[in-house]
Structures are given as structure tokens and as C-alpha cells.
Amino acid sequence: MSASNLPFTVSGGVVLVTGAAMGMGRLYALRAAREGAGVVILWDVDADGLANTAAEVTALGARAVVRQVDLADRAAIAEAAAECTSEGPLTLLVNNAGIVRGALFWDHSPERDIALTMDINALAPMYVTHAFLPGMMADAARPRRILNIASAAGTVSNPRMSVYAASKWAVIGWSDSLRLELEQQGFGHLKVTTFCPSYISTGMFDGARGPLLTPLMTPEDAVDRAWRATLAGQPQLIAPATAQLGKVLRGLLPVRAWDFVGGKVFGIYSTMDKFTGRDQKAGTR
């Protein structure tokens, strides 16, 4: 049987999670360990958080490999990737790390906000994937997966998150294009899933409120949905269902009509009005 037709599992495999020190990254790492991963590679800039996650992963029976990596630094990514390729080809890569700056566009600092957001959210997943992709493509002995964490913000425009939305639009376009390239070039054992959640109660979006009929998801629910979609090789998951509805309506309605429905009816355009967020360390989510 071809590896592309075998059920996907991380059991005995190698999993890399970026932004693994806290939040959803930590949960992805623990999920991998619980499901029998042999090695869980943990990347983040937060050394203390990494140590805590590593201890939990080890207690679950997996071997934790810790690398303190600034994902805004392309050279640091390359160096860490070179160190970790000795673990063998990845069974699962989770590009989870991300930051958000909630402000009007003209209040963004070019370096601290715009460049940093694009570096971590949009460019880092590309650089990390590019480093590990050859090994994942070449070894077709088992199914392999890439999970890219985007956002529903990459499917609809929203005031006070223009740069964040831009970074997630970039992730969606790149991630799904990569999926198609792998499919068309015969790498059926390697599937890409793009996860586009609405607001999640990790602390990253403190102060934000969900649109009409769209409560904040818990991190546990979001990770479970993304994990199951990845196991199934689902190309894209937008969650919850009302976030998918928003994408559909935005595509069908004229711009001004959508502005009224999205802004006035669903309240999307005011969801970030009271955003406070939390202090972000480069590479955490």
C-alpha cells in the first residue's frame, strides 16, 4: 500500500512545534507526546517556557529536543534546523508561532510591529518549512504532515489588525499553494493543512471579542480541531462555522454590502476596539 493511503500517525515519529513554550504550541507538543511521538522538537525564544514544556513532554514518554530560536532571525532558523535534521525527517511540522499587534496601521512601528509581525507570522513558517521539506519529501516510507496555523483574520479585513491580517493572508496563500505543488508533483505522502481559527482565549487576544454567534474558542478546542484535520489530511479548516460563513459572504457580496453585514450585523469590524493583548516574546503564541 502506498504511504499516501496509509492512516497518518505521529507514533514513533519526529514532531517539530514552533512557539512551543506556551499556549497552543505547548498543547500541540503535549498532544504529539500523548499520541506516541518518539521525538518532539520544541522551538521558542522563551527558554524558561521551553524547559517547562520539555519536562511535560518527557513525562509523557517522548524525548524532548529543545532549541531556543528567535524566529524573526533567518540565520537562527537555519542554524537550529541544521542541528535538528540529525533527528531524521519530520513526521509532523507544526508552524504555530505567532504574534499580534492590535493598533491602527499608522500607529504601527515599522521595525517593532510591521517587520517583526511579518517576520514571525509569514516568513518564519516558510523558512522553517523550506529547511525541513527536502527530508519530508524524500522519505515516503510513511505519511507526513505540515500544519500551518493561519487565522480567520486572513480571510476577512478587520480594523486594528491590518498587519496581522496581512501576515495571515500571506500564510494562507503560501500554505495552500505548497499543498497544491506537493499534490501535483507526486508527493502524496506529504499533506498540508491550513488552520484558520477565529479568536482563541490564549491571552494573545485579551480584550478582543468574538463577532456575532462566534464565541472565543478555548485553546484545547482549537488544538483538537486542528489536530483532527491534520490527521485526516484536510486541506483547510476555518473554525468555528460562523468564521467560514463570513468568508463565504465576503466573497459573494459587493464590498459595501459586506461592510454593512460584516461590520454592522456581525460586528466584525469592532472586535478589536478593546484589545489589550499581552506582552509578546518573538516566537510565542
CA distances from 104 to 109, 163, 211, 263 (A): 11, 9, 19, 16
Residue 210 and residue 240 in contact, taking contact as beta carbons nearer than 8 Å:
no
Predicted local confidence at residue 211, as pLDDT: 83
pLDDT (average), residues 107-121: 96
Mean pLDDT (the chain) is 93
Write down the pLDDT at residue 280: 46
* Dihedral (CA of 173, 179, 183, 186) sign: positive
For residue 93, the SS3 value is: strand
CATH class of the domain at 9-270:
alpha beta
Under 8 Å between Cβ of 152 and 238: yes
For residues 76, 91, 180, 98, the Cα torsion angle rounded to the nearest 10 degrees is -40
pTM here? 0.93
Q: What is the pLDDT of residues 199-247, one digit of tens each?
A: 998 888 888 888 877 888 999 999 999 999 999 999 999 999 888 898 8
Look at residue 163 and tell me whether its pLDDT is greater than 90: yes
Active site residues: 164
Report CA-CA distances (Å) from 29 to 40, 163, 226.
Answer: 7, 28, 13
Kindly state the cell numbers that stand for 282: 518573538
pLDDT recorded at residue 275: 87
Domain ranges in the chain?
9-270
Residue 278 reports pLDDT greater than 80: no
Report, as an integer, the average pLDDT of 46-60: 98
Task: Name the band, by pLDDT with cuts 50, 70 and 90, for residue 260.
Answer: very high
Of residues 221 and 275, the one with the higher pLDDT is 221
What is the pLDDT, as a whole number, of residue 123? 98
Q: What pLDDT shows up at residue 281? A: 43
Cis peptide before 110 (omega within 30 of 0): no
